[in-house]
Amino acid sequence: MSGIENLLDHKLFFFINRSLSNPLFDAFMPLITDMAVSLLLPVVLFILYIDRRKALIAVILALSALALSDGLSNLLKHFFERPRPFVGMSDVLVLAGRGKSFSMPSAHAANTASAATVLIVVLSWLRSRTASLSGHIRSFLVGYLVAVAVTIAFSRVYIGVHYPSDVLVGLAIGTLAGLSVTAAYARAEKLFRVAPYQTVLGGVLLVLSLFRIYYILAGPLDLSPDEAQYWDWSRRLDLSYYSKGPAIAYIMAIGRTLLGNTEIGIRLPAVFFSLSSSLVLYGMSRDIMKSEGYEGRGAPEAAGLLSALMVQIVPLFSTYGIVMTIDSPLIFFWSVSLYLFYLAQRDRPEGSGMLLWVLLGLTVGTGLLVKYTMAFFYLSAFLYLVADRRRRRLLASPGPWLSFFVSVLCFVPVLVWNAKHGWVTFLHTAGQAHISDGFTITVGRFFEFIGSQLGVVSPVILIVMLISLFSLRKKSAEGSLLFWFSIPVLLFFTLKSLQGKVQANWALPAYIAGFVSLGIYTARYWHEFRRATRGVLIAGAVLSLLISSAAHYPSILNLPPKMDPTSRLRGWQELGREVSRITSGMKAPYFIFSDKYQVTSELAFYVDGNPTTYNVNLGRRMNQYDIWPGFHDLKGYSAVFVMVGDRPLPERIGRAFEGCQKSLFTVREERRLLRDYSIFRCSGFRGMERKAAEKF
């Protein structure tokens, strides 16, 4: 705001807050400021009396508009960062709690206006029982709703917690949110009559994508250590990296270029990949059912919708709609490759068929550059072509081999990079697979893996998915394709868990074909299911949705940090601010380092200025930081060394500096310990011999 506008805003604020002050308003305004829901309820009840269906629609749309206005208000608060009137101003009469959030805009005003606007629009949709009632009552209720919204907005200024401009902007935001939601609903209602399943899918994906963008901007989760690490890779683009291919770094480099070194810049591609994966599975499931002749009752579209929604509600997959690790693009490239393979292996004219095989090679090759688990695609495709007599002849045709050749060409950069770096990626992969452990049986790890799959997929969905895969395999070539692209991968990791630890997300590709199978199976046999079976299926889907929803706000579950998987995504911003505070008082030159790559990468992102950070090897496994230039020759520098937990200074670090002082930094959430950090401020670096990696 300009100086003149700001002056007028302050004068108007004091006029309302002080000059209009009187005992009646002093008692009335604090009481009414939080009563929007109660004040709007009579209108909802009136709509309910006239039309129950419209009342339900009004409530849903009002809640949607409120969520939209609240999200926009929260984002703008952090954009403007305008302090409340009572912060830095004297003589302010504060008649309510002193909120800690910023002032511009007023969320109270926005939220009340959004719900009121929805109710006004819904009133215009009503057909009253008498013409006279329609005109007079509707006009009265519209005036009442406007009065409620304005009064709530006025009360926020009167009680001293907002400026007039805050509530005016809030009213504008709320009105636009209400109009947008009702207009979107009216448009969707028309589309639904023509294409119901596509409309539902489009609406769900749109709402989820907007929510995810808001959540990334304002949610409680910091970057995961893997996200921070891949972001650090994106600052030093290369042909490949120690543990992964280069694709994730280049994807993040694009986001960083467009949106800067921000969480939204890193995570926005995850929203795109999740949305796109659902669309791909929708198309594949629909096409398979159409090819099998199931055109009636909207079965192909229903199968597509169910398959697409699995990506959004199953906890393992919904996570990667926000968290941008290698699994987000892997889901997309595996889905696209599966769809292309399905299309290419069908009988097609030779020209279009060869193009599909080339495109398949590109998507599989790109998937390999994302995550090496993509190599299981070769295994599944080969097993399917060998097992299905009608498709076995394709092994003698050029299409599959051309696709394989193209995918290998895509992988050449990884081979070139590894040839220059001692094939460390292959050594790392062998270490991850516990090859050096030999053949051992770990029953505990086996049951741990089974339990993890039941947890991240949900028992009902997993069991029905397996039933669908075995059932459809016997009925068609398409069912056989889905079986071979799911069961072998799942079986491999199940057996692997008998030999060593298998992470819950490693079997993720197996579920993509499983979702297609589940959607087709459910759509095909839904009308034959018993009522109890339908109820179990619906309950399983609802349970998955609830788990996925609760995971976004872990405070709802109130789990101890050790039992809360999202605790690894919290506490890093606080650490970054603390290290920034410490380094702001240090004289250059200095460097920042840790003994763990997770801490090193998080510090690189969250410390002011995104400094180059280092990772010292105190006996750990090799990582990417060991390949990059280190700090070992920076003699004379000061440093900040960070370790997780209340830890003593390692002897090797102590010998390398003239002196180090420790401070313990604790991050708490609602009086509960989240994590301790040992921060050492060191001076006079003497140099250090770089330790060669012994473990990969």
**Radius of gyration over alpha carbons of the chain, in Å?**
30
- Cβ 329 vs Cβ 504: under 8 Å: no
**Is residue 563 in some structural domain?**
no
User: E strand or H helix at 507, and its extent?
Assistant: none
| pLDDT tops 70 at residue 322 | yes
In this structure, the answer to whether residues 461 and 414 fall within a common structural domain is: yes
Buried residues in 382-408 as b, exposed as e (16+ CB within 10 A): ebbbeeeeebeebeeeebbeebbebbe
- Report the candidate in 265, 230, 223, 262 with the shortest Cα–Cα distance to residue 245: 230
State pLDDT tens for residues 22-63.
Answer: 888 888 888 888 888 889 999 999 888 888 888 999 999 998
The band of 350, judged by pLDDT with boundaries at 50, 70 and 90, is very low
In this structure, the answer to whether residues 641 and 538 fall within a common structural domain is: no
Mean pLDDT of 199-211: 92
In this structure, the answer to whether residues 25 and 95 fall within a common structural domain is: yes
Return the ∠ at Cα 406 (arms to 402 and 410), rounded to 5°: 165
State pLDDT tens for residues 484-514.
Answer: 999 999 999 999 888 878 888 999 999 999 9
Domain boundary among 159, 194, 229: 194
- Report the candidate in 374, 376, 396 with the shortest Cα–Cα distance to residue 385: 396
**Is residue 458 in some structural domain?**
yes
**Is residue 690 in some structural domain?**
no
- The rounded distance, in Å, linking the Cα atoms of 260 and 264 is 9
In this structure, the answer to whether residues 646 and 523 fall within a common structural domain is: no
Mean pLDDT of 247-274: 94
Backbone angles phi, psi at 542, to 5 degrees: -65, -40
Q: For residue 340, which amino acid is it? A: L
Mean pLDDT of 473-487: 92
In this structure, the answer to whether residues 167 and 205 fall within a common structural domain is: no
The SS3 assignment for 516 reads: helix
- Cβ 20 vs Cβ 28: under 8 Å: no
Mean pLDDT of 331-341: 97
pTM over 0.75: yes
Domain boundary among 172, 194, 216: 194
In this structure, the answer to whether residues 642 and 541 fall within a common structural domain is: no
**Residue 12 buriedness (CB in 10 A; 0-12 / 13-18 / 19+):** middle
In this structure, the answer to whether residues 145 and 269 fall within a common structural domain is: no
* pLDDT number for residue 133: 54
478's CB contacts (< 8 A; 6+ apart) are 288, 291, 292, 342, 472
- The rounded distance, in Å, linking the Cα atoms of 414 and 234 is 16
In this structure, the answer to whether residues 386 and 412 fall within a common structural domain is: yes
Out of 124-128, 544-548, 615-619, least confident range: 124-128
For CA atoms 336, 479, 548, 326, give the dihedral sign.
Answer: negative
Could you tell me the two tokens for 122? 């819904």
Return the ∠ at Cα 269 (arms to 64 and 600), rounded to 5°: 115
Q: For residue 573, which amino acid is it? A: Q
Beta bridge partners of 660: 682
- The rounded distance, in Å, linking the Cα atoms of 490 and 510 is 6
- Cβ 344 vs Cβ 574: under 8 Å: no
**Is omega for the bond preceding 589 within 30 degrees of 0, making it cis?**
yes
Distances (CA, A) of 469 to 299, 461, 488: 18, 12, 12
- The rounded distance, in Å, linking the Cα atoms of 547 and 563 is 15
| pLDDT tops 70 at residue 433 | no
| pLDDT tops 50 at residue 15 | yes
* pLDDT number for residue 161: 87
End-to-end CA distance of the chain: 57
- The rounded distance, in Å, linking the Cα atoms of 351 and 330 is 28
Kindly write down the DSSP assignment for every residue of 548-587, as one continuous string: HHHHHSGGGTT--GGG-GGGGGSSHHHHHHHHHHHHHTSP
**Is residue 48 in some structural domain?**
yes
Domain boundary among 135, 162, 194: 194
- Cβ 64 vs Cβ 181: under 8 Å: yes
* pLDDT number for residue 296: 56
Q: Between 297 and 270, where is the model more confident?
A: 270
- Report the candidate in 481, 489, 508 with the shortest Cα–Cα distance to residue 343: 481
- The rounded distance, in Å, linking the Cα atoms of 9 and 145 is 26
Beta bridge partners of 676: 666
| pLDDT tops 60 at residue 436 | no
In this structure, the answer to whether residues 150 and 166 fall within a common structural domain is: yes
Whole-number percent of the chain with pLDDT over 90: 56
In this structure, the answer to whether residues 159 and 221 fall within a common structural domain is: no
- Cβ 402 vs Cβ 361: under 8 Å: yes
- The rounded distance, in Å, linking the Cα atoms of 205 and 215 is 15
Q: What is the CATH number of the domain that holds 161?
A: 1.20.144.10
**Is residue 327 in some structural domain?**
yes
Q: Which single residue is written with the structure tokens 């209602």? A: 189
* pLDDT number for residue 540: 87
Backbone angles phi, psi at 479, to 5 degrees: -65, -40
User: Domain tally for the chain?
Assistant: 3
Q: How many helices (H) and strands (E) does the chain have?
A: 27, 5
Beta bridge partners of 690: none
Distances (CA, A) of 147 to 28, 58, 155, 693: 15, 19, 12, 71
User: E strand or H helix at 392, and its extent?
Assistant: none
Q: Find which of 145-154, 333-342, 472-481 is predicted with most confidence, using mean pLDDT.
A: 333-342
- The rounded distance, in Å, linking the Cα atoms of 32 and 68 is 23
**Is omega for the bond preceding 105 within 30 degrees of 0, making it cis?**
yes
**Is residue 53 in some structural domain?**
yes
Mean pLDDT of 359-368: 97
In this structure, the answer to whether residues 368 and 430 fall within a common structural domain is: yes
State pLDDT tens for residues 568-589.
Answer: 888 999 999 999 999 998 988 9
Beta bridge partners of 657: 685
**Is residue 388 in some structural domain?**
yes
- Report the candidate in 595, 685, 681, 586 with the shortest Cα–Cα distance to residue 632: 685
* pLDDT number for residue 403: 95
Domain that holds residue 322: 198-554
- The rounded distance, in Å, linking the Cα atoms of 138 and 342 is 57
* pLDDT number for residue 367: 97
**Is residue 565 in some structural domain?**
no
| pLDDT tops 80 at residue 694 | no
224's CB contacts (< 8 A; 6+ apart) are 323, 325, 568, 569
Q: Residues, the chain, total? A: 696
- The rounded distance, in Å, linking the Cα atoms of 329 and 247 is 9
In this structure, the answer to whether residues 548 and 467 fall within a common structural domain is: yes
* pLDDT number for residue 419: 95
| pLDDT tops 90 at residue 174 | yes
Q: Between 288 and 440, where is the model more confident?
A: 288
Could you tell me the two tokens for 260? 């800067």
Out of 106-120, 353-367, 491-505, 579-593, least confident range: 491-505
- Report the candidate in 304, 300, 303, 302 with the shortest Cα–Cα distance to residue 279: 304
